Amino acid sequence: MTPGAGLYSAKVAWRHSLRFRLALTYSALALVLIMLVSAGIVALLLSRMDQQFNDRLNERADALAERYTVTGRDLGRTPSGVGVYTMVIDPDGKVTGASTILRDFVDATFPFENQSRVTIQDTQVRAVKRKAGNFGTLWVGLPEDDLIAARQSALSALLVALFFTPLILLLIGWWVGKRSLSGLESAATLADRIDPTRSLETLPLPGREDEIHRLLSAINRLLVRIEAGQAREKQLLGQIVHELGAPLTVLRASLTRAGERTADPEVLRAALVADELTFTTQDLMQLARGQLEIRLAWHYIPATTLRDRLDRLVPGTTFAGSWGSGILCDPDRLTQALRNLLANGRRAAGPQGAVTLTLSETPEHLIFTVRDTGQGLPPELGERIFEPFVSGAGSSGLGLSVSRQIAVMHGGSLRGRNHPEGGAEFTLCLPNAALGDEDDVDDGSLDDPAPAILTR
C-alpha cells in the first residue's frame, strides 16, 4: 500500500468509524499524559542521580582534605581511592602533588582554574576544591562515565516507551472499543435492513443498561411512534380516497355518456380530467393499502385484451411488437401500471409527441417497453423517480411508484432510463407463463399466484 493510500484509509476510518476515533483520541491523550509523566519522572530521576553524584564527590573531597590536613601526609602517600582524580595546588597556583594518572601536571601551573567539569584522557570529570591547611588547595575529581551512561539509558528507555506506547494503546483502544460498541454496530446493521414502507422492527437491546442501551431504547420508541404515525396516515388517506372514489366514478360515467351524446369537446375534455382523477385515487388507494395488504386476482388473458383497454384509456398510443400471446396477471393492476407509464409519457411528449408501447416475448419474460419523445428523465433524480411523491414533470409523483410496486407484486421489475435517441424509456418485465393445456384452465380468478399447471 502506498503512503497516500494509507493516509486516505486513515481519513476514511476517522470519519466513518467511531471505534477508530475513540481509539485514536484515547491513544493521543494517553501519549501526551505518558510523555508528561515520563518526562517528569526521568527529570526527577536524573536530578536525584546528579545530586547523589555531587554528594559522593563532596564527601570524597571533604574526607581527603581532612585526612591530608590532619595527618600532614603528602599526596603521594595518601590513598585517594579508585577512580578518583586528585591534585594539590600551592598558593602560587602550581601543582605540588597529583594522582598517578595526573603526574604530568606536577610542578606545572594548575590548568583547570575554576572549571567544574573537565576532560581528562577522553573522560568527563566533575571536580571540586577544598582547603588543605598549609599545603594549599586540594582539587578532587570524579569521572562521570557511569552518570552519563545512566542518563543515556534513561533517555533511551523514554524514547522507546514513547514509540511503542501509542501503538499498543491504539490496538488496545480499538479492541476495547470494538467490544464496547459491538451492540451498537449490530443495531446499526439491523437498522440498515429496516424497510420503512413495511412494518418497522425494533432494535435488540444490549444486556448492560449503559449509554448504548439508552440510545437504542430511544430509537425503538421513535420507531414505534413512526409506525403509529404511518398507520394513522394510511388510515386517513384510505378514508379520503374512499370518500372521493364513488363521486368520481359517477362523475366520470356521466361525463363519458354526455360526451358520447353531444360530442362537445369541453365535455370530452372534462371526461378525460375525471378519468385522470379516478386513476389518481386508485394510485392513492394503492399507496394507502400497501403491497402486503393487496391480493392479486390472477387471470390468463390475451395480450390484445390488455392492448384494447390501454388504447381506450390513453388515446394516441402507438402499439408495436407481438400482441398475440397470453398474459398471466391481475388485469386491473397491470392495466393500472401500464396506464400510469403511458400517461406519464403522453404528458412528457405533449400533443405533438409520440408514445409507443412495445411488447416483446422471451421464453422466460414478457417485456413491455414504453418510450416517449419528451425531454427525458431528470438525471439528478436517478432511482428516486420511483419513490412516492417524487416527480420530474409536475405530476403527483405516485404513478411510477405504484407501477413498480405492481410489477414487483407480479414477480417482475420496472426500470427507467433516457433513450440514446432522446426521450424516456421504461421497461416493465414480467415472468412469462404459457398454458400447457387449455382445457385445464379456468377463465376465472386463480387462487394460487403460480399454479402448477402453468408450463412453458
What percentage of the chain carries pLDDT values higher than 90?
Answer: 14
What are the pLDDT digits (tens) for 298-309? 999 999 999 998
Q: Sheet containing 95-98: which strands, arranged edge to edge? A: 95-98, 85-89, 137-143, 123-131, 117-120
Report the relative pairing of strands 123-131 and 117-120 from DSSP bridges.
antiparallel
Q: Which class would CATH give 295-455?
A: alpha beta
Q: Which CATH architecture has domain 3-176?
A: 2-Layer Sandwich (3.30)
Q: Where does the pLDDT of residue 14 fall: very low under 50, low under 70, confident under 90, or very high at 90 and above?
A: low
Q: Which stretches of 97-144 are DSSP H helices?
A: none
SS3 content of the chain, % helix, strand, coil (to 5): 55, 15, 25
| 53-94: pLDDT as tens digits | 888 888 888 888 887 777 655 444 444 555 788 888 888 888
Asked whether this chain's domains 3-176 and 192-294 adopt the same fold, the reply is: no
CATH topology of domain 192-294: Helix Hairpins (1.10.287)
Mean pLDDT across 154-164: 80
Domain boundaries, the chain: 3-176, 192-294, 295-455
Q: Pick the closest to residue 418 from 368, 377, 372 (CA basis).
A: 377
Supply the pTM of this predicted model.
0.47
